[in-house]
Amino acid sequence: MPTLALIRPARPDELETVQRLEVRAGQRFRAAEFATPALDLAALADAPPLPLAVLERARRDGALWILAGPQEDPRGFAVTSIVDGHAHLDELSVAPEHGGQGHGSRLLEHVCAIARAAGRTHLTLTTFRAVPWNAPFYARRGFTALRRGALGPELRARVDEEQARGLSARHRVCMIRALGDSR
């Protein structure tokens, strides 16, 4: 049974905790049974977390959200930005020991509500096509895939940056969800 958790803005003293949480959540990629030589998910587990400067800027901008347990212990987080005029989900991570309890869905719906309240009409993201807790997770929550030709210039630049870091477009997908929908 899931424990009660609340979603709130991140505090300045939690940024390193967010980094550690991201690294722990990334370890799930190491054990992914669907990894192939063409998709080295274990390398993602070794990737560095979001830099402190990025997290601090997101926190100051009101774009870093913490899902905290009853003792105020961070169990998950979401980071957003604005890309091509749309809200964009940069990162959503939940600590492995708190996975499967709906925390990721709650964080996602919180981000959607905040973006909607700010007048944004859509939420975009980039993710892995075949990883079950990536594109399939988001598809079940109302996201659809965007064709490359439908990407705005800023989202296209982000995809190009991902490719430069070795994330093949063949394994990645851009997704979008209309925010008028109150799932």
Find the CATH number of the domain harbouring 30.
3.40.630.30
In a domain, 39, yes or no: yes
In a domain, 109, yes or no: yes
Q: What is the pLDDT of residue 39?
A: 66
Q: In total, how many domains does the chain have?
A: 1
In a domain, 71, yes or no: yes
Q: What is the pLDDT of residue 1?
A: 43
**Polymer length of the chain:** 183
In a domain, 168, yes or no: yes
Q: What is the pLDDT of residue 183?
A: 45
In a domain, 126, yes or no: yes
38: pLDDT strictly greater than 80: no
Q: Which domain holds residue 25?
A: 6-178
Q: What is the pLDDT of residue 28?
A: 83
φ, ψ of residue 82 to 5 degrees: the values are -115, 125
- Rounded mean pLDDT of the chain? 89
Among candidate residues 175, 174, 176, the one with its CA nearest the CA of residue 159: 174
pLDDT in tens, 54-107: 999 999 999 999 999 888 889 999 999 999 999 999 999 999 888 888 899 999
pLDDT in tens, 41-66: 777 778 889 999 999 999 999 999 99
pLDDT band at 132 (very low <50, low <70, confident <90, very high): confident
126: pLDDT strictly greater than 80: yes
In a domain, 183, yes or no: no
**From CA 94, how far away is CA 21, in angstroms rounded?**
7
Q: What is the pLDDT of residue 144?
A: 97
In a domain, 152, yes or no: yes
The pTM of the full predicted model, rounded to 2 decimals, is 0.90
In a domain, 31, yes or no: yes
